[in-house]
Amino acid sequence: MLDLYLLGVALGLGVAAGTPGQGREGNRALALALIAAAAVAAALIAVFATGWAIVATIVGVAIGVFSFRHLAPAAVLAAALALALLALVPVVGYLEALAAPLLGERLRRRASGRFAGLRILAKD
């Protein structure tokens, strides 16, 4: 049972580490720090519990990177910390991995278009 819990923690920490995404210039140091912390946590879990923690962390990072691409830069640190803390709650790491693509799709839809009331002011 402990192995399943730690696997969920590794998955949730991976999602949190992938939150800063790729290609954002202001978040490179934060992204590297989060990925390094998730890698250390995954290595510790792999050594003491199960080797699958490394795979779960890599999958979590991929889910986080592709899900939270449209997250506002000001919200990245808060989202990453919240996801990392929630990953410590049993089963929530698995739920993060399931909910992240849905939340990412919602962020993409909300960030994609202009606001209807401002079209009239736009000079194309």
pLDDT band at residue 120 under the 50/70/90 scheme? low
Collapsing DSSP states into helix, strand and coil, what is residue 14?
helix
pLDDT for position 94: 92
> How far, in Å, CA of 29 to CA of 27, rounded?
6
On whether residue 69 sits in a domain, the answer given is yes
Q: Give the lowest-confidence range in 4-13, 35-44, 107-116.
A: 107-116
Q: Looking up tokens 């049993």, which residue turns up? A: 90
Going by C-alpha positions, the residue among 27, 40, 8 that lies closest to residue 79 is: 27
On whether residue 119 sits in a domain, the answer given is no
pLDDT for position 6: 87
Q: Looking up tokens 């992938």, which residue turns up? A: 18
H helix or E strand, kind and range, residue 76: helix 76-86
On whether residue 115 sits in a domain, the answer given is no
How high does pLDDT run on average in the chain? 81
> How far, in Å, CA of 116 to CA of 102, rounded?
24
pTM over cut 0.85 = no
Retrieve residue 30's tokens: 């934060």
For the chain, the domain total comes to: 1
Instruction: Find the domain containing 65 and state its range.
Output: 2-108
On whether residue 114 sits in a domain, the answer given is no
On whether residue 34 sits in a domain, the answer given is yes
pLDDT digits (tens, 9 = 90+) for 50-109: 888 888 888 988 898 888 888 877 788 888 889 889 998 999 989 999 999 998 888 888
